[in-house]
Structure 1
Amino acid sequence: MTDPTPDTAVPPTLQDDKALPIAIYALHIGGAVTGGFTCLIAAILAYISRKGAPDWLASHYEFQIRTFWLALLFSLISLLLTAVGIGVVMLVAVGLWVIVRAVVGLSHLLKGQPYPTPKNWML
């Protein structure tokens, strides 16, 4: 007999397409623990993967690359400001900013949506 409920599972190719961007978002989140080391790996993987990616995935790769560069810039500024005492607080803020960006990007990815504003520096 046939099952009356329609199959709403995501096609395997779409799930496979999502695997690497999910891993890259996880590496960004892990960067808060590793001092940004895994963010570097995430950026390299995003640079390699964005060529030939479908447009909706390319928006995620662009967002991930931009997250890396902005986090690096803000982290360097924060390190310079440790001399006046606010750098540590800013480093924590940068870490939280990266985590929030990764979670928001992951949310769009899991819905199968492109990231709406990959060039935006906030969210």
Structure 2
Amino acid sequence: MQESKNENLKQYNLITYILYLVGFLVGVTGLIAIIMNYVKRDEMRGTWLESHVNWQIKTFWWCLLGYIVGAILTIVLIGYLILFLVLVWQIYRLVVGINALIDNREVGTT
């Protein structure tokens, strides 16, 4: 029973990772993914999948902040560098998260 539940939650996490990636092309899917993360967060507490939902939530909020700061600073040109670095960091975090999820391990741990 628990194994089946974890497998469903794993699939759910994979869907949210994919929504974040699709968000690079269709911005609204990132908003859908963050809502989905908060909806299932309590259900994932105490499982190895909790680290994934927390990883995704932190990635979303830090990237949003980075994109806002970068957008504001584009008027002094440094913002373009910030936007690029945030984009690279976001892609890195999503790839690391997906790889850990596929390997059935927590993300952010060795």
TM range (shorter): 0.7 to 0.9
Partner residue, 2:93: 101
Alpha-carbon separation, structure 2, partners of 1:73 and 1:61: 19
Match of 1:75 among 67, 77, 100: 67
Tell me how large the CA RMSD over aligned residues is: 1.8
Q: Residue 16 of structure 2 is aligned with which of 2, 24, 45?
A: 24
Residue 40 (structure 1) aligned with residue 31 (structure 2): yes
> Highest CA radius of gyration, 1 or 2?
1
The equivalent of 2:7 in structure 1 is 15
Residue 64, structure 1, aligned to residue 22, structure 2: no
* Runs of 5+ consecutive residues of structure 2 not aligned to the other structure: none
Structure 1 residue runs of 5 or longer lacking an equivalent are 1-10, 118-123
Cα distance between partner residues in 2 of 1:60 and 1:79: 28
Contact 1:32 1:95 in 2 (8 A): no
Q: Which has the higher helix share?
A: 2
